[in-house]
Amino acid sequence: MEIFHHNGQLKTTYNYKDGRLDGPLEVFYETGQLESKRFYKNGELDGLLETYYDNGQLKSKGNYQEGKKVGTSERYHSNGQLKTKNNYKGGKLDGVHEIYHENGSLRHKGNFKEGNLIN
């Protein structure tokens, strides 16, 4: 399926299978630039999810499995520097959590276990 902005530019593309989202879902800015891309399987997020600033620069990326965040998730400042880096297991923070200043220097670091801060 396709949805369009009022200016005629493509806004969203997605597919349904058996009444559920299935496959890639892409969202675009009015300019036509990609805003986000994610994948669904049987109606749940499953796979890589990426978001972008309107200039095309990567804003965030992370992985999902059966609707839950898994693995490393990263967000970026608008200048391209890493903003946050987290690890997830079964949808919960698990492992090192880092926050960075816009200049790239480390601001905060902590550890999580099953969604709970342990230090």
pLDDT one-digit tens code per residue, 80-92:
999 999 999 999 9
DSSP per-residue codes, 43-92: TEE-EEEEEE-TTS-EEEEEEEETTEEEEEEEEE-TTS-EEEEEEEETTE
pLDDT at 67: 95
How confident is the model over 49-63, as pLDDT tens digits? 999 999 999 999 999
- The torsion of the CA quartet 16, 22, 26, 27, rounded to 10 degrees, works out to 60
Average pLDDT, integer, range 14-32: 96
- Looking at residue 119, its pLDDT comes to 75
pLDDT at 92: 95
Instruction: Judge whether residue 105 has pLDDT over 80.
Output: yes
Reading phi first (left if > 0) and then psi (alpha if -120 to 50, else beta), residue 103 is in alpha
Q: Look at residue 48 and tell me whether its pLDDT is greater than 90.
A: yes
Number of separate helices (H) and strands (E) present in the chain: 0, 14
Model confidence at 65: pLDDT above 80: yes
Q: Are 73 and 86 in contact (CB under 8 A)?
A: yes
List, in sequence order, every residue forming a beta bridge with 116; answer none if it has no partner: 113
